[in-house]
């Protein structure tokens, strides 16, 4: 029997109007302090009206040394709360729920390098040609407290959930991966020690936000480089995170990536489908799958097959913020996004987030006129 993806769905006590999630997307609209701007509010208002059940915010740094990129949202001081509250209000106006994603970049911060600031690393890494400093025990405890404080600010700003960013090579990935964690203390070495940071962050955050406030994680369940985090260890960690208080897991990449760009004209490829299915077999909370999903048929297939409970997308909503509303109206044409990644070079130039392919077509038409 086919599951209706447009019916309400619950993550813990959080009821969503459907099973579609807008995955966290860096939009570079925050000001130099990390505060929300009018461009940010307009973007989230449009997303909220587009039919998606849950919006996950662009990643917000938990401390200044955790900032990954320019234009990134901050959740590092109480001064950020009024602006973050405006994002919540904008999303809610269209009937969407919204989660605040919080992150520490660790060594993976282009922003800090460009500012001439030495980032903190899980371990001293001789093969890295960038300056960095290995974290002390005190640094680690401070960062755990920073995650908790950022989560508290999300609650105070009115977000419906908080999501930890535990993927894509940022600090949580760096702790759990044998590729980047060479510590010989209680934070490294064995799988139990390498996953300790995840479990301590979850426990501290849960203490601050309470027993029932929805807490999610975007989790790189497997690395895609030789010698990296194996899937079996990622799945074991997923179960332990649920026991510690995680309410839903969005399955994504760790260090390295198997997510090759979908070429124009090629069929879509849900590149984390098998990993999501493996996680779903091991946990009792909802599993969210992201990556390469472009059609309602693919989304329906994964949910009906029991591979995931919710469907998450990022780039399709850059080009079509109202994609889910279109699908719900019966316009079942696949997303126009071709995963060309031309949207992100635009953002890196400091320009507003938009579909690069649409921009190219518009500029060509203007030249022909």
Average pLDDT of the chain, as a whole number? 93
pLDDT score recorded for residue 349: 64
Q: Could you give all domains of the chain from N- to C-terminal order, each with its CATH number?
A: 9-335 (3.20.20.70)
Given a cut of 60, is residue 132 above it in pLDDT? Answer: yes
Confidence at residue 92, expressed as pLDDT on a 0 to 100 scale: 98
The dihedrals phi and psi of 261, each to the nearest 5 degrees, come to: -60, 140
Mean pLDDT of 324-343: 89
Choose among 112, 98, 56, 58: nearest CA to 347: 58
Q: Is 111 considered catalytic here?
A: no
At residue 14, the 3 state secondary structure works out as strand
pLDDT in tens, 58-111: 999 999 999 999 999 999 999 999 999 999 999 999 999 999 999 999 999 999
Task: Give the dihedral of Cα atoms 226, 134, 120, 225; nearest 10 deg.
Answer: 0
Q: What is the pLDDT of residue 165?
A: 98
Residues contacting residue 38 through CB under 8 Å, at least 6 positions apart: none
The partner residues of 11 in beta bridges, in order of sequence, read 14
Distance CA 361, CA 366 (A): 9
Contact 153, 210 (CB under 8 A): no
pLDDT in tens, 260-309: 555 555 668 899 999 999 999 999 999 999 999 999 999 999 999 999 99
Taking residues 34-54, what's their average pLDDT? 97
Is the pLDDT score of 133 beyond 90? yes
Q: Choose between 293 and 1: higher pLDDT.
A: 293
pLDDT higher than 80, residue 361 = no
Quickly state the pLDDT bin for 367 (edges 50, 70, 90). low
**347: pLDDT confidence band, cut at 50, 70 and 90?**
low
Structure tokens, 129: 């040609």
Q: Which of 9, 59, 73, 170 is catalytic?
A: 170
């Amino acid at each position: 029997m086919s599951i209706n993806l447009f019916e309400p769905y619950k993550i813990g006590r959080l009821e969503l109007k459907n099973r579609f999630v807008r995955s966290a997307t860096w939009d570079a609209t925050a000001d130099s302090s990390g505060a929300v701007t009018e461009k940010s509010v307009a973007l989230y208002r449009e997303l909220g009206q587009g039919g998606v059940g849950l919006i996950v915010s662009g990643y917000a740094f938990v401390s200044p040394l955790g900032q990954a990129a320019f234009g990134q949202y901050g959740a590092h001081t109480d001064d950020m709360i009024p602006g973050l509250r405006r994002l919540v209000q904008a999303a809610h106006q269209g009937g969407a729920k919204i989660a605040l994603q919080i992150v520490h970049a660790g060594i993976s911060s282009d922003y800090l390098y460009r500012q001439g600031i030495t980032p903190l690393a899980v371990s001293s890494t001789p093969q890295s040609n960038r300056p960095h400093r290995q974290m002390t025990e005190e640094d680690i405890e401070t960062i755990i407290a920073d995650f908790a404080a950022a989560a508290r600010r999300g609650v105070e700003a009115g977000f419906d959930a908080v999501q930890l960013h535990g993927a894509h090579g940022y600090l949580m990935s760096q702790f759990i991966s044998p590729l980047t964690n060479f510590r010989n203390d209680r934070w490294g070495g064995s799988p139990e020690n390498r996953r300790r940071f995840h479990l301590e962050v979850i426990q501290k955050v849960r203490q601050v936000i309470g027993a029932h406030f929805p807490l999610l994680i975007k989790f790189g369940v497997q690395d895609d480089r030789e010698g990296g985090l194996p899937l079996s260890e990622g799945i074991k960690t997923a179960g332990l995170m649920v026991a510690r208080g995680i309410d839903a897991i969005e399955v994504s990449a760790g260090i390295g990536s198997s997510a090759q760009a979908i070429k124009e004209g090629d069929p879509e490829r849900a590149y984390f489908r098998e990993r999501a299915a493996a996680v779903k077999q091991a946990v009792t909370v909802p599993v969210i799958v992201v990556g390469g999903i472009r059609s309602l048929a693919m989304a329906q297939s994964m949910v009906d097959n029991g591979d995931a409970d919710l469907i998450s997308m990022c780039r399709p909503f850059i080009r079509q913020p109202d994609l889910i509303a279109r699908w719900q109206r019966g316009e079942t044409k696949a997303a126009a996004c071709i995963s060309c990644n031309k949207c992100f070079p635009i953002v890196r130039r400091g320009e507003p987030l938009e579909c690069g392919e649409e921009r190219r077509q518009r500029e060509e038409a203007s030249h022909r006129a």
